Amino acid sequence: MLKQPESLDALYRTLISLQTEAECKKFLEDLCTIPELHSLAQRWSVARLLHEGKTFNEIMTEVGASSATISRVNRCLMYGSGGYREMLEKQE
């Protein structure tokens, strides 16, 4: 695995230090553009729907995500580092 840049490690530390939904919202709204936030939210919606067993076509209709986005999220669910799966299981 490649070494993470220090700035990325600093971002991770900052994210885990957020204590409330309001803090998280304010931080992410300052950090990200509106399209970036929408993209992150869409990927999370896709991950949840895939986890529920929805088909690609159902997800495309419900969320408006492209097949490329759904495929990418699906690959991460199947072969990624486990981040999606861990958070999905936490919310069950």
Q: Give me the sign of the Cα torsion angle 66, 72, 78, 80.
A: negative
Q: Would residue 1 count as lying in a domain?
A: no
Question: Could you tell me if 56 and 62 are in contact, meaning their C-beta atoms sit under 8 angstroms apart?
Answer: no
Q: Would residue 13 count as lying in a domain?
A: yes
Q: How many domains does the chain have?
A: 1
CATH number at residue 80: 1.10.1270.10
- pLDDT digits 0-9 by tens, 69-91: 999 999 999 999 999 999 999 99
pLDDT at position 3 is 65
Q: Would residue 77 count as lying in a domain?
A: yes
pLDDT at position 5 is 83
- Domain limits at 48? 7-90
Query: What residue ranges of the chain have pLDDT lower than 50?
Result: 1
Q: Would residue 2 count as lying in a domain?
A: no
pLDDT at position 44 is 98
* pTM tops 0.85: yes
Reference 83, options 49, 53, 47; nearest CA is 47
